[in-house]
Amino acid sequence: MKALGKISKYFEIGKISYLNNSAYFIGTISRGFTVFFRIWIFTALYRTTLNAYGLETINNLSLANVIWTLMIVQAFGSSTRPNIESLIQDEIKDGTFAYTINKPYSYFKFNLARSFGNIFSNILPNILIGSIAAMILVGPIQITFIGLMLGLILMLFGFILDFLISFIIGICAFWMEDITPLTWIHGKSTMVFGGMILPISLFPDKIQKIAELLPFSQLFYAPSKVITSGNFSDFIHYLPIQLIWISVAGLISYAVFKKGVRNVSQNGG
């Protein structure tokens, strides 16, 4: 009963975050349209590439397959805004952090709930607008129910891993004047090795193997690939890598949080 009460507390935090983010309807729609534009650009890029080289497929992937994979990667990636690391940095700098750690909830779980609240408010419009764009530009692809379910499991783990990395970066504000350069490097690593512009399947073999072992490909690319391919073998390939990175990032976030809290000083009066 007590455990249920604890869960419902964080559920309510997530709900507030969801409602708060959903209130800015124009913002949500505009993010969706950014996804639309990106899909349009990707279609132009890969269609021109296929035409220029007289190809039907790239690495056995059709144009539609490439575009739908990129669309899902982009839709998932855009759903994590606003970035949790910036919110944590602001709270550390303006002193809110010192007050929140005294409150009867876990700061870590509070941010996890807040992050998932934002994700759930963004993901549906992004997927909807992105699917319309992909449907208009390249037509439909076959997505199996099993592929979708397996992809959604990886998506959940992907969002948890993304949150953990963002949490670690945010907590670094205890020791750094400005964490923005770290958020850029995280963002760009996800863009390059997370298949956000160039699907990892199109990488040269050696780089592909390395990229698939990095955490960045496990955030949004792994679930998108499983959703579009529907392959159980892909799921089995990505799941252990994701779980290992979640464990590693979880341990690091626990350690940095513990160390960071020691820097907090509270003065009475």
**Residues at the contact surface with other proteins, assessed by CB under 8 A:** 24, 26-27, 30-31, 33-34, 37-38, 40-41, 44-45, 47-49, 52-53, 176-178, 180-182, 184-185, 187-189, 191-192, 197-198, 202-204, 207
CB of 4 to other proteins, least distance (A): 36
Distances in Å between the Cα of 94 and the Cα atoms of 52, 99, 108 are: 54, 10, 18
Q: How far is the CB of 227 from other proteins (least distance, A)?
A: 23
Q: How far is the CB of 202 from other proteins (least distance, A)?
A: 6
Smallest distance from other proteins to CB 180, Å: 7
| Residue whose C-alpha is closest to residue 201's, from 75, 71, 59, 64 | 59
Closest approach of Cβ 20 to other proteins, in Å? 13
Cα-to-chain-centroid distance, residue 21: 17
**Contact 135/219 with Cβ under 8 angstroms?**
no
Phi and psi, residue 220, nearest 5°: -125, -25
Nearest to 190 by CA among 168, 161, 220: 220
Q: Name which of 44 and 149 has its Cβ closer to other proteins.
A: 44
For the bound state, the minimum distance from the C-beta of residue 266 to other proteins, rounded and expressed in Å, comes to 26
Which DSSP letter does residue 62 get? E
| Residues written for the chain | 269
Residue closer to other proteins, measured from CB, 41 or 244:
41
Nearer Cβ to other proteins (12/90): 90
User: Closer CB to other proteins, residue 176 or residue 236?
Assistant: 176
Closest CA to 97 of 268, 257, 269: 257
Count other Cβ atoms within 10 Å, centred on residue 263.
Answer: 12
Q: What is the distance between the alpha carbons of residues 193 and 196, in angstroms, rounded to a whole number? A: 8
Residues 6+ apart with CB under 8 A from 222: 154, 158, 234, 238, 241, 242
Tell the smallest beta-carbon distance from residue 147 to other proteins (Å). Answer: 26
- Looking at the Cβ atoms of 42 and 97, the one nearer to other proteins is 42
Whichever of 184 and 232 has its CB closer to other proteins, that residue is 184
Instruction: Indicate the residue among 128 and 176 with the shorter CB distance to other proteins.
Output: 176
